[in-house]
Copies of this chain bind each other. A is one copy, B any other.
């Protein structure tokens, strides 16, 4: 893996260039760019959600700025499935060129179109399904069914003059999927027979031993929990998890309960899924939330969002008694979802809040109410053995996941020099079955923060972290422009700071003295005087209080 930035040589005709733009070394903002003979193909364009060291950030986009001058050469964006980490950045890409065609399955495109509508973009789109082939410039695409935690996911085989690539997108290999739509290993076998030169493969669960349990194993658990609930049942899950909602609908129906959907994204996504036939709604089961209050407590199930402890989502608001459903003794809450690392404290706060209100809270820690959407190590071994690809590029995962996936590939006999541990921006060229790393682009984080995109820098985030941990001290002094004499101040104010404002009386004379000394030496420039104030206050606060708040000196001339 190249550590330094290396500009790749210009691309030779007939060679396929592959650049993972996002999703390597992280779980999210998946995006890969393919180029051959002057044309570009993009696979996925997702967002990453910020961690605690990126405070205030709403979303993180792949750093696709390097494509800005090449957008007219993009033949299409292929979207493997409808999750945010694969489609969430599409609006930001289309803002640069609105008519890039989007290619994906029916459900995937319906979800991305609903999202684009909020951004007031109507995309050019092409609906495809498994088995279908499409020729887009120099790229001959073939779509392959894969099973994941959202219906209608596709892998994509990309045939070019330089060779064939297979990109899985996110997938697992549930052998008894709810909708009967298996990851198509027969097709993987056929492609392998024909020869796959490069395999881009989901690494998310590569370090999890064994096999992901069946989604359908959850149904009986839901059924049992609902059956013994004396009052209302609230189930929380991801708003795109059609199969999970499907199982809740069935379990509710079997128990003679009706289901009300809660939360804007839950209602929107399930309406789309039902309309397109991905969600089978038993006759008369769904009830509008507004009418659900009229139904007896032991005859209703609420299906909501907020399983990650998001403060504004339905479940957190219930836990904080800030929702019209008032949780009480005898209610049951089921968190039928994963616990994404970093969300633990927020989720446990919700669980505790609900427990305190009297609810019985069922979650993956105490019942089998969730299975992952990604292939574990055992499944990936099947995959490698069936496909037998020439070269492997593990994608979609933190570095430890990519390493674990590369080791699995090697365990099945793929030589180490043909398994590639890359970073975002690594440039790999494919020709004649050979993959070479030829460069490393300098890609960073593009932060969406309110209405701004890419304005917030890592320096701003460092400022925020300092402000958030130590607060700030501002020092204002007005000086006479001609003499440098202090006319007003120093006025000192602190916020988020541990000490009482009274401590500042100690440093004020030091500031006045330092400024007088500077004036005596002929310093008049306000910026230089501000540095004088900063040094004086900085050394005092470090020495006297052993703290490092942000210092904001301001010297104004009057």
- A interface with B by C-beta (< 8 Å): 25, 51-53, 55-56, 207, 209, 341-342, 344-345, 348, 351-352, 355-356, 361, 365-366, 398-400, 403, 449-452, 455-456, 460-461, 463-465, 467-472, 474, 476, 478, 487-489, 491, 493, 495-500, 545-547, 550, 552, 554, 556-558
Q: Taking A56-B468, A471-B463, A472-B495 as contacts, is the C-beta distance between A342 and B341 under 8 angstroms? A: no
Indicate if the CB atoms of A488 and B556 lie closer than 8 Å.
yes
Chain B nearest CB: distance from A460 CB in Å? 6
A56-B468, A451-B546, A493-B554 given; name 16 further pairs at CB < 8 Å.
A56-B496, A56-B498, A348-B400, A352-B398, A449-B498, A451-B545, A455-B500, A463-B496, A464-B496, A467-B468, A468-B469, A472-B472, A476-B476, A478-B556, A491-B556, A493-B552
- What chain B residues lie within 8 Å of A497 (beta carbons)? 460
Select A399's contact among B356, B476, B487, B552, beta carbons within 8 Å.
B356
Name the CB-closest residue of B to A456: B498
Indicate if the CB atoms of A348 and B352 lie closer than 8 Å.
no
Indicate if the CB atoms of B355 and A400 lie closer than 8 Å.
yes
Q: Taking A464-B467, A556-B488 as contacts, is the C-beta distance between A345 and B345 under 8 angstroms? A: no
Select A207's contact among B209, B341, B366, B449, beta carbons within 8 Å.
B366
- What chain B residues lie within 8 Å of A471 (beta carbons)? 56, 460, 463-464, 467
- What chain B residues lie within 8 Å of A55 (beta carbons)? 468-469
State in angstroms the CA–CA spacing of A495 and B452 once bound together: 15
Indicate if the CB atoms of B365 and A498 lie closer than 8 Å.
no
Q: Taking A344-B341, A399-B352, A495-B472 as contacts, is the C-beta distance between A556 and B460 under 8 angstroms? A: no
5 residue pairs A–B, Cβ–Cβ below 8 Å: A25-B352, A51-B345, A450-B546, A451-B546, A478-B558
Indicate if the CB atoms of B499 and A455 lie closer than 8 Å.
yes
State in angstroms the CA–CA spacing of A107 and B500 once bound together: 39
Indicate if the CB atoms of A558 and B455 lie closer than 8 Å.
no
Q: Taking A399-B356, A467-B468, A474-B474 as contacts, is the C-beta distance between A498 and B452 under 8 angstroms? A: yes
Chain A interface main SS type: mixed
Indicate if the CB atoms of B469 and A478 lie closer than 8 Å.
no
Name the CB-closest residue of B to A354: B400
- What chain B residues lie within 8 Å of A468 (beta carbons)? 55-56, 464-465, 467-469
Name the CB-closest residue of B to A377: B366
Chain B nearest CB: distance from A96 CB in Å? 20
* Most central of A52, A455, A456 by chain B CB within 10 Å: A52
Select A488's contact among B365, B460, B558, beta carbons within 8 Å.
B558
- What chain B residues lie within 8 Å of A550 (beta carbons)? 495
- What chain B residues lie within 8 Å of A496 (beta carbons)? 56, 460-461, 463-464, 467
- What chain B residues lie within 8 Å of A51 (beta carbons)? 345
Indicate if the CB atoms of A552 and B455 lie closer than 8 Å.
no
